[in-house]
Structure 1
């Protein structure tokens, strides 16, 4: 795993990260995500691995060995994936959580609390993608996942909310409150069932409007 430290956005371009490649940003559940839900998400993400390889895509996430990050790391390993898997962690908190071992890159960023990485994670994805397509996939999640979703839309990055994965994702999918309804109602947001994800990602990476087949 290659580890880099950055103190400003200007440093990201020289951080040795992959560039000019499609990006899937994965956000959502961390240590509050039940183990059974992590296992179910791993199976969904395992089905994406051949697509990610074919498009030479990069996955960017929060990097720790819990929740959605554990699911994608294990999915990559089990399916024999070689795509770059980039984790973004607040450096001051890196000692409080193990990095998921199947990640290829770890970007340590400034901050003092969980959630301080939100803007950085989105910016890392933008630098890696450059002019290529990118999208955010949200599964499960706590309070920070709302911030991740809003940051994605703020950057005009399409957002996929996986219905049935619990907590924040289901709140948005069901328009549970004003904030959730606003996110769900964005023209950039698609609320999908797990079995619809692969075709949607294929569509986005292939440049088809709406991201569908």
Structure 2
């Protein structure tokens, strides 16, 4: 079995990480990180670019008041891209600020992850967010290489439990993230009003198509939108999904009855 390593951040926290290794089964890799399933899984994708200061403050409140507390109350795993930027930074800071204990797993391409006290592996590399508890460093050196891994990890960890992807803002890579979630039959909740890709897909749900990639995603039936201003509804919708058994688990149970 592959052995995890510790990553010590200058600010104090320590995370457990696993590097890419050939022929390593993903289930085994997650077990070696001490991550047990099944449990609810919340995947956070998107970005936080081109936002006004007011919109950014609303997003920060979303993480502090809804996403992090919900994950803590359900003992869920949270999965994101793991770098110290955008929604991933907000997730890490929110977990730290509320004193949460839920696993926060960053899935990052090894060729783009700048580790503490090490030189960046590429010009566009980004530091890891220091309040994540685990990192699965995956093969690759391009943004978006992590997208199928995030979907696969959420599927494995959730097992018979609920899993959901939350889309906030986002750019071009976010389209890949959503498509990968749809490919594994994982519901996607779009935070409408958060900008960019999120708003394009929210509009597409209402028949306003502004991007050729939107129709196929909408037709999956797995997308729904909740307004950024309606935090109570967002919490309610996410909790409902996360506390449901997976469709596969319900089907298997029905076949045995």
TM-score for the superposition, normalised by structure 2: 0.75
5+ residue gaps, structure 1, are none
Shift of 1:184: 3.2
**Equivalent position of 2:46 in the other structure:** 28
Find the structure with the greater CA-based Rg. Answer: 2
Q: Which moved more, 1:154-163 or 1:93-102?
A: 93-102
- Aligned mate of 2:111, from 88, 92, 106: 92
Superposed CA RMSD in Å reads 2.0
Q: 1:5 to 1:39 in 2, by over 3 A?
A: farther
Shift of 1:35: 7.1
Q: Which moved more, 1:39-48 or 1:58-67?
A: 39-48
CA distance, structure 2, for counterparts of residue 142 and residue 107 of structure 1: 23
Judge conservation of contact 2:189–2:224 (CA < 8 Å) in 1.
yes
**Equivalent position of 1:101 in the other structure:** 130
Judge conservation of contact 1:38–1:67 (CA < 8 Å) in 2.
no
CA distance, structure 2, for counterparts of residue 72 and residue 93 of structure 1: 19
Q: For residues 171-186 of structure 1, what are the structure 2 equivalents within 5 Å?
A: 171-175=200-204, 176-186=210-220
Q: 1:9 to 1:68 in 2, by over 3 A?
A: farther
Q: For residues 38-117 of structure 1, what are the structure 2 equivalents within 5 Å?
A: 38-48=56-66, 49-95=68-114, 96-117=125-146
- Equivalent residues, number: 208
CA distance, structure 2, for counterparts of residue 122 and residue 101 of structure 1: 22
Judge conservation of contact 1:174–1:181 (CA < 8 Å) in 2.
no
5+ residue gaps, structure 2, are 1-14, 115-124, 205-209, 247-257
Q: 1:120 to 1:33 in 2, by over 3 A?
A: farther
TM-score for the superposition, normalised by structure 1: 0.90
Shift of 1:118: 0.7
Shift of 1:135: 0.5
Shift of 1:174: 1.2
Shift of 1:51: 2.3
